[in-house]
A and B are shown apart, each in its own frame.
Chain A
Amino acid sequence: MTQPYRLPTGGRIARSRPLRFTFDGRSYEGYAGDTLASALLANGVHLVGRSFKYHRPRGILSAGSEEPNALMTIDRGAGRVTPNLRATQIELYDGLCAISQNRWPSLDFDLGAASQFVSRLLPAGFYYKTFMWPRAAWRRVYEPLIRRAAGLGKAPRAPDPDRYTNQFAHCDVLVIGAGPAGLEAALRAGRAGSSVILCDEQQELGGSLLNNSQAAERLLQYTNELRALPNVRLLRRTTAFGVFAQNFVALAERINDHLPASNKDMPRESLWQVRAERTVIATGAIERPLVFPGNDRPGVMLAHAGLAYVNRYGVLPGKQVVIATTNDDGYAVADALKAAGAEIATIVDLRRDETIAATHGGKRISSVDIRLPDNSLRRIACDLLLMSGGWTPSVHLFSQARGKLRFDVPLQCFVPDGTLDAIECVGGCAGAGLQPSPATQIVADGKSFVDFQNDVTSADIELAVREGFRSVEHIKRYTTSGMATDQGKTSNMNALAIAAATIDAPVGSVGTTTFRQPFTPVTFGTLAGLSRGALFEPVRTLPSHDWALAHGAVFEDTGQWKRASYFSLKGEGMRDAVMRECRTVRAAAGIFDASSLGKIEISGPDALTFLNRIYINDFSRLDIGRCRYALMLNEAGLAMDDGIVGRLAETRFHVTTTSGGIGHVLHHMEDFLQTEFTSLQVWLTDVTEQWSTFAVQGPRARDIVGELTTTIDLSPGSMSHMSLREGSVCDADARLMRVSFTGECGYEINVPSSEGARVWAALYESASRHDASAYGLEALNVLRAEKGYIIVGQETDGSTTPDDLGFGKMIGARKDDFVGKRSLSLAHLASSGRKQLVGLKPLDPQKMLEEGAQITLQSGAPTGSHAVGHVTTACWSAVLDRSIALALVENGRALIGSTLHVPMPNGDIPVEVTSPVFVDPAGARLHG
């Protein structure tokens, strides 16, 4: 017979829609509307897992998100294996495949369970006390053993194939929890015309109304009215898992895990980031277990979970029922189970001085020992023990929002103390309508579990107090009570009560531990949202990108930009390609896409004054049509960025920055304009992406560019090195600069980006006619290093002054002030002994240096010796056919000609200190 414990009628399940599912390989049947837990109980399956530390058999304790025991792995195919899901929240679908956890070799026969017989050796703090020594054994022996013995499900190894999404939302009222209090709050706000979001973690709205067969009509009225309100958004299967500063609430919506086959197009989950004018927390209350020996045996269940299985799912979780209770709710549950056909063997009312002394049974409870007021024991046979120790309001979210709590003596739990500005608690989570429940302490031999998921017993907490722990935060960490994935939803109040009783202090004075996000675990996919895979980070491409793809480019990432590292012709390797590109530039010419350079147009009557205050240079004599290399310092006097300043008109300048520098350079400039130099009339416009920039460098650069323009006179007499012209190139509006980052005669063509790809293609055609080719970043790096041209961030490191770089003469001596000037005369920047830019030539010209390598004065310097400098750039010079490097070396300029040492793992590399300019020091090629 299938589903032997399914009641013939009743419940909210759809009996017309039977579903097949498997649990540990065995096939079962349930109904649409079931959870995995209710379907297992309908089939009489109570043993669903093994405990964390002692591998004790465990059953289903609850019917909701507080479940500590029934954790499952759900297998939805490759990459879609999710461990540690609560069976009480997993909606049944056809073909669901569930696997139990933390057992070996099988759930029924678990070798690890032997540990419970040596459990006196595993008290609180056991790990801290035992696995101390020898130190190395921790990583190799203890940790792997413990991890195997104690654990939860296994994290999947395959990449997650699902989509996830994100939704920012704003509303007047956010209601969390769709039980009776939440439904009413949402209705009130909705009727008043407010925009409302109502979320609930369950698949159906209703909360506790779902467990009340008398309330079905009322629930239907609520939900029908809510659905009809266009200003109310209902989010089912959506857990409010965190409340953050300023009433910012995060919700995790599970979109398709409840559907049979993953719809690969739909996202699996969505993160809702909600800003509400007002938040109503209606998260209800969680029933407390009782702490008595053997309270973790399968078949021991929270009383209201039993009620939910009967009334909501039409499942009788047991036929012979004992109820243990501290409050009147236990009797109502007894009535409901009796009406459903169960035999109520007895009700143990702890208020009458009765208590549970022990439970018996192997993998399912078979009897209980009841200690009567006269201290005698009575054994009663049963297959279900329902317990109610009172109610604990779900104040998690209120507490995350920094709401204050107070201890309520009649309820024996913490309740919200007042409201917050925009957050209020209603219903059970505010303590409203809960049955008073006196404090109860059951003292008896045997394992009485407090935290089921982390296997913490009352004895562990008492031991922690005996060993001197007083703060609840310390007791929590020492015993690990409340630190499992359920964060102690069912255990925290009991743990506090036991700690308080052991310390002999009132519970209210002991306080409570911190409630942390998330309320229930959230997948990493939900948190990542859209930012996965190709969308993790924007990829920016240059105007020549498609051309480069078709011409053998090998790309490298510089920030978000994809830039050609080199162009591999006929299968060339990197070194051959780079050397060929270098030789081509020096022999004929090369073209390079430099469009990622930052560009700023600076206009206004005070533009010149502003530039003089921002850069170290003096631009007072910079004529219209001329440009200049410029260095920018921060206020501490240290190099921050460099670029070219070109004068377009009396009051208009075209300024470039490094590729990655545009953001912080603009920020820096705006900072001084807006807050220090406020009287200046200057405006900055970012034109980085307005202009595509192509460098043409080499002895034939003039011939190549000459073929593309008729409006600009390129002759050296008219357009010498460091000139700027506006005109047209390839019939596009152009700003043409004669500048060089290679030491060759060179131009940078700026054209509007919409024309970039077209102009690049024309430029390549022209270049080809002059034996020139495209070159990439690697060749550029060699060409500029041969000339000793610096790259900010490579030759500078945030502690480099202009003088360190040999730029002392660039500083406008007549300027009263510029950003960073005052700092340059501070002792630590002006004293001798600073690292200065030099060149290095290994005495063995074949020997390559490594960037970042340290430099010493002596050979064979022992470890810990003072390093006088470090290598900033190292490369093979094509034109010199030898290894060269740039370096920052203490008093480096005075050391030119001497020999230093670069210690490497395979021995010292002796190097000669040289000028940083290796090629054409007189600049004949540059001005040619």
Chain B
Amino acid sequence: MLLIRCPYCETARPEVEFRHGGEALMERPRDPSRASDAEWIDYLYMRRNPKGPHAERWRHVHGCGRFFNCLRDTVSDRIVVTWRAGEPVPEVTDGDGA
């Protein structure tokens, strides 16, 4: 079971309290009616699947209820860093995170 630091509760919490929310930093077209089919399909379906650090959304659904962002290494499962939704991606220094 992973430990994930909730940036709102400001503590590391057990994985069972969280729900995964897919890839982070996906931009919903500001005016969907003006988006081309290709742009909209890109937003709907196209996702990265990197080997290594991956920006993900998680929600502390059985805690404070907030969505937040998380950089997780898909190879080692290490949670590199978590940060609040809407805030800039933090500079990663080794040893950050949960």
Interface residue? B19 (CB, 8 A): yes
Known contacts A244-B1, A676-B28; decide if A822 and B35 are in contact (CB<8 Å): yes
Known contacts A275-B3, A822-B40, A826-B41; decide if A674 and B66 are in contact (CB<8 Å): yes
Instruction: Check A670 against B35 for contact (C-beta < 8 Å).
Output: no
**Assembled-state Cα–Cα distance A827/B40 (Å):** 12
Instruction: Check B44 against A823 for contact (C-beta < 8 Å).
Output: yes
**Assembled-state Cα–Cα distance A246/B4 (Å):** 10
Instruction: Check A248 against B1 for contact (C-beta < 8 Å).
Output: yes
Instruction: Check B37 against A827 for contact (C-beta < 8 Å).
Output: yes
The residue in chain A whose Cβ has the minimal distance to the Cβ of B41 is A826
Interface residue? B61 (CB, 8 A): yes
B13 to chain A, nearest CB (A): 11
**Assembled-state Cα–Cα distance A636/B79 (Å):** 30
The residue in chain A whose Cβ has the minimal distance to the Cβ of B43 is A635
Within 8 A of A (CB), among B16-71: 19, 21, 28-29, 31-33, 35, 37, 40-41, 44, 57, 59, 61, 65-67
Q: Which residues of B contact A817 (CB under 8 A)?
A: 31-33
Q: Which residues of B contact A823 (CB under 8 A)?
A: 40, 44
Interface residue? B88 (CB, 8 A): no
Q: Which residues of A contact B59 (CB under 8 A)?
A: 667, 670-671
The residue in chain A whose Cβ has the minimal distance to the Cβ of B97 is A246
Within 8 A of B (CB), among A276-296: none
Known contacts A635-B44, A670-B59, A678-B86; decide if A245 and B2 are in contact (CB<8 Å): yes
Instruction: Check B37 against A826 for contact (C-beta < 8 Å).
Output: yes
**Assembled-state Cα–Cα distance A826/B35 (Å):** 11
Interface residue? A273 (CB, 8 A): yes
Instruction: Check A670 against B41 for contact (C-beta < 8 Å).
Output: no
**Which of A670, A822, A823 is packed against the most chain B CB atoms within 10 Å?**
A822
The residue in chain A whose Cβ has the minimal distance to the Cβ of B3 is A246
**Assembled-state Cα–Cα distance A675/B61 (Å):** 15
Interface residue? A268 (CB, 8 A): no
B78 to chain A, nearest CB (A): 8
B12 to chain A, nearest CB (A): 9
Interface residue? A816 (CB, 8 A): yes
Q: Which residues of B contact A676 (CB under 8 A)?
A: 28
Known contacts A636-B44, A667-B19; decide if A822 and B2 are in contact (CB<8 Å): no
The residue in chain B whose Cβ has the minimal distance to the Cβ of A637 is B44
B93 to chain A, nearest CB (A): 15
The residue in chain B whose Cβ has the minimal distance to the Cβ of A684 is B65
Q: Which residues of B contact A674 (CB under 8 A)?
A: 66-67, 85
**Assembled-state Cα–Cα distance A589/B21 (Å):** 45
B3 to chain A, nearest CB (A): 5
The residue in chain B whose Cβ has the minimal distance to the Cβ of A275 is B3
The residue in chain B whose Cβ has the minimal distance to the Cβ of A246 is B3
Interface residue? B98 (CB, 8 A): yes
Interface residue? A563 (CB, 8 A): no
Binary contact readout A666-681 vs B (1 if CB under 8 angstroms, 0 otherwise):
0100110011101000
Instruction: Check A246 against B37 for contact (C-beta < 8 Å).
Output: no
A242 to chain B, nearest CB (A): 12
The residue in chain B whose Cβ has the minimal distance to the Cβ of A674 is B67
Instruction: Check A273 against B35 for contact (C-beta < 8 Å).
Output: no
**Assembled-state Cα–Cα distance A185/B82 (Å):** 34
Among candidates A248, A816, A826, residue contacting B40 with C-beta atoms closer than 8 Å: A826
Binary contact readout A336-353 vs B (1 if CB under 8 angstroms, 0 otherwise):
000000000000000000
B76 to chain A, nearest CB (A): 8
A245 to chain B, nearest CB (A): 5
Chain A, interface size: which category? 20 to 34
Q: Which residues of A contact B65 (CB under 8 A)?
A: 670
Among candidates A273, A275, A821, residue contacting B32 with C-beta atoms closer than 8 Å: A821
The residue in chain A whose Cβ has the minimal distance to the Cβ of B45 is A636
A271 to chain B, nearest CB (A): 12
Q: Which residues of B contact A246 (CB under 8 A)?
A: 2-3, 77-79, 98
Q: Which residues of A contact B33 (CB under 8 A)?
A: 816-817, 821-822
**Assembled-state Cα–Cα distance A676/B86 (Å):** 10
Instruction: Check A245 against B77 for contact (C-beta < 8 Å).
Output: yes
Instruction: Check A675 against B85 for contact (C-beta < 8 Å).
Output: yes
Q: Which residues of B contact A821 (CB under 8 A)?
A: 32-33
Known contacts A275-B3, A635-B44, A667-B61; decide if A675 and B32 are in contact (CB<8 Å): no
**Assembled-state Cα–Cα distance A535/B66 (Å):** 30
**Assembled-state Cα–Cα distance A409/B32 (Å):** 66
**Assembled-state Cα–Cα distance A246/B12 (Å):** 12
Q: Which residues of A contact B44 (CB under 8 A)?
A: 635-636, 823
A16 to chain B, nearest CB (A): 46
**Assembled-state Cα–Cα distance A670/B59 (Å):** 10
A399 to chain B, nearest CB (A): 15
Instruction: Check B32 against A822 for contact (C-beta < 8 Å).
Output: yes
**Assembled-state Cα–Cα distance A822/B41 (Å):** 10
Within 8 A of B (CB), among A647-701: 667, 670-671, 674-676, 678
Instruction: Check B77 against A671 for contact (C-beta < 8 Å).
Output: no
**Assembled-state Cα–Cα distance A636/B65 (Å):** 24
The residue in chain A whose Cβ has the minimal distance to the Cβ of B39 is A822
**Which of A246, A248, A635, A636 is packed against the most chain B CB atoms within 10 Å?**
A246
A633 to chain B, nearest CB (A): 12
**Assembled-state Cα–Cα distance A670/B61 (Å):** 10
**Assembled-state Cα–Cα distance A244/B44 (Å):** 34
**Assembled-state Cα–Cα distance A675/B21 (Å):** 11
Q: Which residues of B contact A826 (CB under 8 A)?
A: 37, 40-41
Among candidates A248, A671, A822, A827, residue contacting B21 with C-beta atoms closer than 8 Å: A671
A174 to chain B, nearest CB (A): 15
Within 8 A of B (CB), among A798-845: 816-817, 821-823, 826-827
**Assembled-state Cα–Cα distance A215/B91 (Å):** 54
**Which of A402, A671, A676, A821 is packed against the most chain B CB atoms within 10 Å?**
A671
B68 to chain A, nearest CB (A): 9
**Assembled-state Cα–Cα distance A821/B40 (Å):** 11
Known contacts A675-B67, A822-B33, A823-B44; decide if A273 and B1 are in contact (CB<8 Å): yes
A198 to chain B, nearest CB (A): 23
**Assembled-state Cα–Cα distance A699/B66 (Å):** 46
**Assembled-state Cα–Cα distance A273/B44 (Å):** 39
**Assembled-state Cα–Cα distance A827/B41 (Å):** 11
The residue in chain B whose Cβ has the minimal distance to the Cβ of A273 is B1
**Which of B1, B3, B85 is packed against the most chain A CB atoms within 10 Å?**
B1
A423 to chain B, nearest CB (A): 14
Instruction: Check B86 against A670 for contact (C-beta < 8 Å).
Output: no
The residue in chain A whose Cβ has the minimal distance to the Cβ of B68 is A674
Q: Which residues of B contact A273 (CB under 8 A)?
A: 1
Within 8 A of B (CB), among A451-509: none
Q: Which residues of B contact A636 (CB under 8 A)?
A: 44
**Assembled-state Cα–Cα distance A826/B76 (Å):** 39
Q: Which residues of B contact A822 (CB under 8 A)?
A: 29, 32-33, 35, 40
**Which of B21, B28, B77, B78 is packed against the most chain A CB atoms within 10 Å?**
B28
Binary contact readout A563-595 vs B (1 if CB under 8 angstroms, 0 otherwise):
000000000000000000000000000000000
Q: Which residues of A contact B76 (CB under 8 A)?
A: 245, 402
The residue in chain A whose Cβ has the minimal distance to the Cβ of B24 is A675
B88 to chain A, nearest CB (A): 15
Q: Which residues of A contact B40 (CB under 8 A)?
A: 822-823, 826
Name 26 interchain pairs, CB-CB below 8 A, sorted by A. Answer: A244-B1, A245-B2, A245-B77, A246-B78, A246-B79, A248-B3, A636-B44, A667-B19, A667-B59, A667-B61, A670-B65, A670-B67, A671-B59, A671-B67, A674-B66, A675-B57, A675-B86, A817-B32, A817-B33, A822-B29, A822-B32, A822-B33, A822-B35, A823-B40, A826-B41, A827-B37
Shortest Cβ-Cβ A-B pairs, 7 listed: A822-B32, A245-B77, A674-B67, A822-B40, A246-B3, A676-B28, A817-B32
By a beta-carbon cutoff of 8 Å, the part of chain B in contact with chain A is: 1-3, 19, 21, 28-29, 31-33, 35, 37, 40-41, 44, 57, 59, 61, 65-67, 76-79, 85-86, 98
Known: A245-B77, A246-B79, A667-B61. 17 other contacts (CB 8 A): A244-B1, A245-B2, A246-B2, A246-B77, A246-B78, A246-B98, A248-B3, A635-B44, A671-B21, A675-B67, A817-B31, A817-B33, A821-B33, A822-B33, A823-B44, A826-B37, A826-B41
